[in-house]
Structure 1
Amino acid sequence: MSGLVVAVVLFAALLHASWNAIVKAGRDVFLTTVLVSGGAAGISLLALPFLERPAPASWPWLAASVVAQLAYYSLLAAAYRAGDMSHAYPLMRGSAPLMVALASWPLLGEKLSAMQMAAIACICAGVLSLYLASRANGQHTGRATVLALLNACVIAGYTLIDGIGVRLSGAPAAYTMWIFVLNGAGLLLWTLARRRRDLARYAATQWRVALVGGCGTLASYGLALWAMTRAPVAAVAALRETSIMFASMIALVVLREKISPRRWLAIALIAAGAVLMRVA
Structure 2
Amino acid sequence: MTPLVALVVLLAAVTHASWNAITHRIKDELGGLTLVGIGRAASGALLAAAAPLPAADVWPFLIASGVLHVGYQVALITSFRLGDFGQVYPIARGVSPTVVTLFAIFVLGERMGTAATVGMVLVTSSLVGLALWGVRGRSRHRPQWPAIAMAATTGLTIAAYTLVDGVGIRTAGAALGYIGWLMVLDGTAIPTYAALRLRGRLAARLRPIAAPGLLGGVLSVVSYGLVLWAQTRAPLAPVAVLRESSVIVGAAISVFLFKERFGGARIVAASVMMTGIALMLATT
TM-score range, shorter-chain basis? over 0.9
Gap regions ≥5 residues in structure 1: none
- Name the residue aligned to 2:124: 124
CA distance, structure 1, for counterparts of residue 30 and residue 83 of structure 2? 14
Could you say what secondary structure the match of 1:108 adopts?
A: coil
- Name the residue aligned to 2:269: 266
Pair 1:37–1:270, CA change in 2 (3 A): farther
- The amino acid that maps onto 2:162 is T
- Name the residue aligned to 2:2: 2
Could you say what secondary structure the match of 2:261 adopts?
A: coil
Q: How far has the Cα of 1:33 moved from its partner?
A: 2.3
- The amino acid that maps onto 2:49 is P
- Name the residue aligned to 1:136: 136
Could you say what secondary structure the match of 2:138 adopts?
A: coil
Q: How far has the Cα of 1:181 moved from its partner?
A: 0.7
> Do residues 65 (structure 1) and 59 (structure 2) align?
no
CA distance, structure 2, for counterparts of residue 132 and residue 122 of structure 1? 15
Q: How far has the Cα of 1:264 moved from its partner?
A: 1.6
Q: How far has the Cα of 1:17 moved from its partner?
A: 0.1
For 1:13-52, list aligned pairs within 5 A.
13-52=13-52
- Name the residue aligned to 2:78: 78
Pair 1:238–1:32, CA change in 2 (3 A): same
- Name the residue aligned to 2:103: 103
| TM-score of the aligned structures, taking structure 2 as reference length | 0.93
CA distance, structure 2, for counterparts of residue 224 and residue 92 of structure 1? 17
Paired positions, count? 280
CA distance, structure 1, for counterparts of residue 174 and residue 137 of structure 2? 46
- Identity among equivalent positions (%) equals 34
- The amino acid that maps onto 1:138 is R
CA RMSD of aligned residues (A): 1.6
Q: How far has the Cα of 1:84 moved from its partner?
A: 0.8
CA distance, structure 2, for counterparts of residue 226 and residue 141 of structure 1? 36
Q: Is the 8 A contact 2:90 2:131 kept in 1?
A: yes
CA distance, structure 1, for counterparts of residue 42 and residue 150 of structure 2? 28
- Name the residue aligned to 2:158: 155
Q: Is the 8 A contact 2:94 2:131 kept in 1?
A: no
CA distance, structure 1, for counterparts of residue 107 and residue 59 of structure 2? 18
Query: Deviations for 1:154-206, whole angstroms, at most 9, x for unmatched residues?
Result: 11111111000001112211101111111111111122233345642231111
Q: Is the 8 A contact 2:16 2:219 kept in 1?
A: yes
Q: Is the 8 A contact 1:98 1:120 kept in 2?
A: no
Could you say what secondary structure the match of 2:259 adopts?
A: coil
CA distance, structure 2, for counterparts of residue 49 and residue 137 of structure 1? 46
CA distance, structure 2, for counterparts of residue 107 and residue 174 of structure 1? 27
- Name the residue aligned to 2:224: 221
